[in-house]
Amino acid sequence: MNGSTPVGTLRIPVPQSFFLVAVLVGSVSQLWPQRAEADGPITTGLVQQLLVDAVPLPPKSPTELRANGGFSPIPVLSVPKSVIFRPNLTYARYPKTAVKLDLFLPKDSGKELRPGLILIHGGAWRAGSKADYRYYGGQFAERGYVTVSINYRLVPEHPFPACLQDCKTAVRWMKAQAKDFRIDPEKIAVFGGSAGGHLALMVGYTDTPEFEGTGGHPEQNSRVAAVVDLYGPTDMTVPEIQRFDFVAEMFNQFLGATIAERPELYRLASPITHVSDQCPPTLVIHGTADSMVPITQSDALVEKLKDQGIPYVYDRIPDWPHAMDFTQPINDRVLWMMERFLANALKTSEIARQ
């Protein structure tokens, strides 16, 4: 393992890729209705005590906020002084590739085991990096989580399921390091947004040998105790998800085929296909004005979770678009929701079976 020093001055910029996404979303959103039918501020699921406080009202819409002075992106922050930062650790090895992660450790001297959190960036499975979620890494390590933000192999060089295999390898890596970093292997959660949300769901909902890969630590399993999904695609088989040509091409590149050519592969790569009564508790956060991943994707997932009796919390935020959590008002809400959801969902892994 690499040596470590507390890093209190590393500056974490908002990833430049986000601003490109924001411009794209702003343009595309003009082509699609800004509100879904029957908007609702929040739906809590079968275990309502997962959120122990009164849920705050969602932020005003971007239009309303702009009319009243606007809003800011999440700030450029330093890694908190209470956090030890270890960048660029290898967690998966292949003949020609070593896949890296950044590790954020709470700087405490206790002996108690700590929960783990794995951050999976977005970027249409073909872009983005672990640096995109360093903000969350520092935030949650400061809250006591051993947190990692991971790279994964990208398309088109590495088509599905390579990226999923890497994410599952990251879970096994964290369990293999449990003793060194005082991680409770039964209290590991995964979090992701957009393509990362899709991968987080697939990590939590699948137990398929072909998805495990050969990146390392086969003695460990890749099961997790909770999933957090921000606006991730859940069903790649429905026409609405490919209503724009560039989105259809994105899926074609991800899966290496069109849906007409490989419908069974599109089903296999859809998290909704894998929902069962064995899935872990799930937090879903999605804006109704999302023009890249329609809100109906999360609506359908939540209905299936409900049918299977899976504890879930669904925050359905009116009038906000894709990548909304890179703005301050939504990011504040995401942190509020995640902190409470994870604190309860990770009390015991048995919650997934109640």
Residue tagged active-site, from 158, 198, 217, 322: 322
pLDDT bucket at 36, cuts 50 / 70 / 90: very low
pLDDT bucket at 352, cuts 50 / 70 / 90: very low
Over range 91-101, report the average pLDDT: 96
pLDDT value for 147: 98
In this prediction the pTM is: 0.85
Residue tagged active-site, from 194, 270, 291, 298: 194
From the list 178, 180, 177, 235, the residue with the least C-alpha distance to 202 is 235
pLDDT bucket at 45, cuts 50 / 70 / 90: low
pLDDT value for 243: 82
Q: Give 284's strand partners.
A: 229, 314
pLDDT in tens, 222-264: 999 999 999 999 999 999 888 888 889 999 999 999 999 999 9
Residue 315 among the catalytic residues: no
Residue 274 among the catalytic residues: no
Q: Give 189's strand partners.
A: 117, 226
pLDDT in tens, 164-179: 999 999 999 999 999 9
pLDDT value for 20: 37
Joined tokens for residue 175: 């369990």
Give CA–CA dist 327/25, Å, rounded: 14
3-class DSSP assignment, residue 69: coil
> What residues contact 109, with CB distance under 8 A and at least 6 apart?
none
Q: How far is CA 123 from the centre of its chain?
A: 12
> What residues contact 324, with CB distance under 8 A and at least 6 apart?
231, 287, 290, 317, 330
Q: Is the pLDDT of residue 103 over 50?
A: yes
Least-confidence region, from 32-36, 55-59, 79-83: 32-36
pLDDT value for 76: 62
pLDDT in tens, 186-203: 999 999 999 999 999 999
pLDDT bucket at 11, cuts 50 / 70 / 90: very low
pLDDT value for 66: 80
pLDDT value for 331: 93
> What residues contact 239, with CB distance under 8 A and at least 6 apart?
none
CATH for 31-353, among 3.30.70.260, 3.30.420.40, 3.40.50.1820, 3.40.640.10?
Answer: 3.40.50.1820
- If you write DSSP's letter for every residue of 171-228 in order, what string do you get? HHHHHHTHHHHTEEEEEEEEEEETHHHHHHHHHHH---GGGT-SSS-TTS----SEEE
Residue 322 among the catalytic residues: yes
Residue tagged active-site, from 290, 315, 319, 325: 290
pLDDT value for 211: 98
Over range 304-332, report the average pLDDT: 93
pLDDT bucket at 105, cuts 50 / 70 / 90: very high
Over range 120-143, report the average pLDDT: 96
Mean pLDDT of the chain: 84
**Strand pairing class (282-287; 226-230):** parallel
pLDDT value for 108: 83
Give CA–CA dist 185/113, Å, rounded: 9
Least-confidence region, from 16-20, 78-82, 181-185, 321-325: 16-20
Q: How many CB atoms lie within 10 A of CB 168?
A: 29
Domain ranges of the chain: 31-353
From the list 150, 154, 221, the residue with the least C-alpha distance to 191 is 150
Joined tokens for residue 269: 């790569």
Phi and psi (nearest 5°) for 49? -70, 0
